[in-house]
Chains A and B, each alone.
Chain A
Amino acid sequence: MQVFSLRGKTILITGASSGIGRAMAIACSEAGAALVISGRNINKLKETLHLLKGKGHNICVADLTEEDELAALVDFVPKLDGFVSNAGIASPLMLQFVEKQDVEEILNTNAISVIHLTRLLLQEKKLKKDASVVFTSSVNGNRCAYIGSTLYAASKAMLTGFMKATALELAPKGIRVNSIEPGMIETDLLKDGNISQEELDKDKQKYPLKRYGKPEEVAWAAVYLLSDATRWMTGSSIVLDGGYTLQ
């Protein structure tokens, strides 16, 4: 069905060097979009670029927490039909050990840089009328919480608040703003050893569908939100969690 296609759309995807962001880039290219993919690691971005279908894709290396790199990215991108934000970090740290720099690092990377990128795209008129903006949030901080994730949960809840108010403000321009709230997804973030395999296996059993999600399963939701199929949808979140928050 044509309404689910991204053909003719130009879309910016951040955090595209790995995980969910890379899967979104692949899925959006398969749906026909021309992409600007951004991330911090040039080699990984090039790997993503090789995995894309179609032509007309571009890379822009940027650390979104650096003001000048953020400005350069906004300058680089053409007028957009869609923008998806994925950049995010997580590391289990209990509140009793949190220092000021931890708060700044997590909130800056996961939420504040996203706010700045969104406002700059708007201020520089890089979002077309009827554009779709998608934030990758999390069930963590919005529907549930995990031990050791106070800052991550706070950053993702911050994104949700920002998404809703922005959706309201941009509605007169026809620009839609929505988010995706995934549960645990099988990405490299889980392979860093911060959570033991035993704990992960135990945690998976808490999911009614008995497994974590796959990056492409989040990517397909992004394609849906970027497509014309959701042109009457704004200020909403799609929960994708294998039923985890039902209980």
Chain B
Amino acid sequence: MEMNDFIKNFGNQFDDTDVSTFTPATRFRELEEWSSLNALAVLNMIGKKYGIKVLPDEMKPTQTIQELYDLVLSKK
């Protein structure tokens, strides 16, 4: 699992935020476009692209893409 690849897949779940603006430090919950819809899309993306099931309550404490990435890695 590659961070760059993860950021690209994460960014693809957004329609109005430019993918190039995402970095590991991006605090995704503060993005104007962030909603529960993105949250479900991100969880589905992680399930389908990486075969890892992350539950909403597990994702809740994560603030940055790095933290989410680490969570997914820890479940691999």
Chain A residues at the B interface, C-beta cutoff of 8 Å: 92-94, 96-97, 99, 147-148, 193-197, 199
Contacts and interface: CB of A to CB of B under 8 A. Distances in A.
Contacts of A92: 40, 43-44
Interface in B14-58: 36-37, 40-41, 43-45, 47-48, 55-57
A104 to B, nearest CB: 16
The 7 closest A-B pairs by CB, nearest first: A196-B56, A193-B55, A97-B44, A97-B48, A196-B57, A94-B44, A148-B40
Nearest to A202: B36
Interface of B: 36-37, 40-41, 43-45, 47-48, 55-57, 60
B41 A96 contact: yes
Contacts, number: 32
23 contacts: A92-B40, A92-B43, A92-B44, A93-B44, A94-B40, A94-B41, A96-B41, A96-B44, A97-B41, A97-B45, A97-B48, A147-B40, A148-B44, A193-B55, A193-B56, A193-B57, A194-B55, A194-B56, A196-B55, A196-B56, A196-B57, A196-B60, A199-B36
Contacts of A196: 55-57, 60
A231 B56 CA distance: 45
A99 B41 CA distance: 15
Give chain B's interface secondary structure class: helix
A148 B56 CA distance: 14
Most chain B CB inside 10 Å of its own CB: which residue of A93, A97, A99, A199 = A97
A195 B47 CA distance: 15
B21 to A, nearest CB: 21
Contacts of A199: 36, 56
A237 B44 CA distance: 33
A193 B54 CA distance: 9
A193 B57 CA distance: 7
Nearest to B40: A148
Contacts of A147: 37, 40
A152 to B, nearest CB: 14
Contacts of B55: 193-194, 196
B53 to A, nearest CB: 9
A197 B56 CA distance: 9
Contacts of B37: 147
A196 B55 CA distance: 8
A2 B12 CA distance: 61
Nearest to A97: B44
Nearest to A92: B40
